[in-house]
Structure 1
Amino acid sequence: MTSQEQASGHPTLSPLIIACLAATWLIWGSTYLAIKFALVSFPPFLQMGSRFITAGVLLMAWMKWRGAPWPTAVEWRNAVVIGGLMLGGGMGGTGVAEETVGSGLVVAFIAVIPLMIAALNRCYGIKTGAMEGAGIAVGLVGVLMLTQGSGFQASIPGLIAITVACVTWSVGSVLSQRNFPLAPGAMGFASEMLCGGAVLMVLAAMAGEKAQWPPEPKALAAWAYLVIFGSLIAFNAYMVLLARASAGLASSYSFVNPVIAMLLGVSLGGEVVTGFEWAAVSVVLLGVVLLVAGRRSP
């Protein structure tokens, strides 16, 4: 941050920050439709496991080439726990949900994660302010509305899967900050992807999943997009935002992604979203906006 930015109290949006915002808003918002396209040839656990193992190997090779040290034994153990929760449960559950629920509705449900994390942090003595509490309450009302829409009502297994995904991702996020820290920097995320990918491959074997071979070109392209853009580019862009921007700006993806995902699902995926479901999403996003605004307040 420059001295001019510090004096004003409002950091300017540099080209790097704008590029990182575009990555977290647009790329992450589009990955949910890509997951659905890849499901044609790659079942959910197998798709996610192979995706994160590939991305983890590439990222770890890059970090080793730059001279980063290997994670310690304790950090590898933590990567198994956090990767198992966030990727095994979180991303695995997301893939399972998208087998029967539209990608736009799935990501709209996922928008509740910042609210879950804020609620879980109360267990560690981190109190929420009045606006944050209002955000949590409003967001939960929106999620309850969303579960009553035709999309989730038509697929109870999909609703259960996305609920498990949100809970495990939120718990993993909090534990990674409090009890199970990863290795510093990108090496920690590479170890998390490798361990989480391994957990997903075990789940794929237990479920008897097999990829279609040869895969359909559209499914293979979607899988490659998830590896390169979803796992490597957008994830690292998010880490840059956490380091160089405010927490509120970094977390802004959580109320942009649902809109992007739903628009793409309707326009490119042929998904149908009812007026009631759009209203439910609006309530969820209002809750997230209140939460982020509350965190920005002194």
Structure 2
Amino acid sequence: MINFSLFVATVLIWGTTWIAIAWQIGPIGIVLSVFYRFALAFVVFIIGLAALGRLSLPSQWRFVVLQALCLFSFNFLCFYKATSLMPSGLVSVIFSLATIFNAINARLIFGERVQSRTVLAGIIGALGLVLLFWHDVTVSLDLDVVQGIGWAALGTMFFSLGNMMSRKNTAHGVTPVIANAWGMGIGALVLLGVASLSGADFILPNTQSYILALLYLSVIGSVVGFSTYLIMVARLGSDKAAYATVLFPIVALALSTIYEGYEWYGTSFAGLGLTILGNLVMFSRIKPA
């Protein structure tokens, strides 16, 4: 029951954060928006842990820092950039292929075998993405979408590497909650440095949509969402935890259709279906070859 609750919470939270990211795009630079998100998340996290008497320092910092770079700074710079170039729902679909990235990175970092189903899932998922973006890339030749695909894929790679660092933290006795709390603070410091070096003007937009999106992304999307997901990683492993990515793109694309006017084509439906199928293949019960 606990695993199911974590799964449902992750799907609903991460399915809705993509449209909130879109609402943050525009008023100020991307680096500042991501900085505000994780700076606020860090403060909320630390205060909450202190109030519960659960605040402590990690037993080691190396993988906490690496997790921070991959999960709470560089990856979101990529995702925000991708969202500025194409509908947020499409970004979420690319991100859903984290299941494939996780399997590959687990092989490279932990020496785990890449199963035949992973190869098949990768082929199906790649074909799904081709169909999903077919109209934008081959019919209308939207160069922004092409760039967005690249940024979203890079962000997903960073995210997957962050998953691997989370597994390292767990192996060293650092819980996902503690790693997240301090990782968000470290990520915010890195983003602050990037913003300062780029000469950013530190202003906070006062529009209702931006403030609400910031609060939702910081508290629900970051503090709650990452905690539920990485607790699943610790309980089930990175491959099974990433199964949540099978469903949340449907939520994200539905919201993108309503709020961003995303247009559906026959190839779009086929592409989404194949992408979901690729993720399902990753968790099939068929004995791998």
TM-score norm. by structure 2 comes to: 0.84
Q: Provide the alpha-carbon RMSD of the alignment.
A: 3.0
Opposite residue 15 of structure 2, the aligned amino acid is G
Q: Does 1:167 align with 2:152?
A: no
Deviations 1:57-115 (A, max 9, x none): 2212332341442124x41x432222112222211100111111100111011111110
1:36 to 12, 22, 25: 22
User: Quick one: percent identity of the two aligned structures?
Assistant: 21
Secondary structure of the residue aligned to 2:206 is coil
Q: Tell me the residue number matched to 1:9.
A: none
Structure 2's unaligned 5+ residue stretches are none
TM-score norm. by structure 1 comes to: 0.82
Q: Does 1:69 align with 2:59?
A: no
Q: Tell me the residue number matched to 1:187.
A: 178
1:288 to 257, 274, 279: 279
Q: Tell me the residue number matched to 1:157.
A: 147
Deviations 1:161-208 (A, max 9, x none): 212211222223224434896832411111111112222233333444
Opposite residue 64 of structure 1, the aligned amino acid is A
Q: Does 1:45 align with 2:31?
A: yes
Counterpart Cα distance in 1 of 2:36 and 2:72:
12
Deviations 1:237-284 (A, max 9, x none): 334544666877643320111111001100123222433233222212
Counterpart Cα distance in 2 of 1:143 and 1:39:
24
- List aligned pairs for 1:187-226, cutoff 5 A: 187-210=178-201, 213-226=204-217
The alpha-carbon deviation at position 287 of structure 1 amounts to 0.9
Q: Does 1:26 align with 2:12?
A: yes
Counterpart Cα distance in 1 of 2:195 and 2:266:
36
Counterpart Cα distance in 2 of 1:261 and 1:274:
17
Aligned residues: 282
- List aligned pairs for 1:1-298, cutoff 5 A: 14=1, 17-65=3-51, 66-72=53-59, 74-75=60-61, 77-123=62-108, 124-150=110-136, 153-155=142-144, 156-178=146-168, 183-210=174-201, 213-242=204-233, 250-293=241-284
Secondary structure of the residue aligned to 2:56 is coil
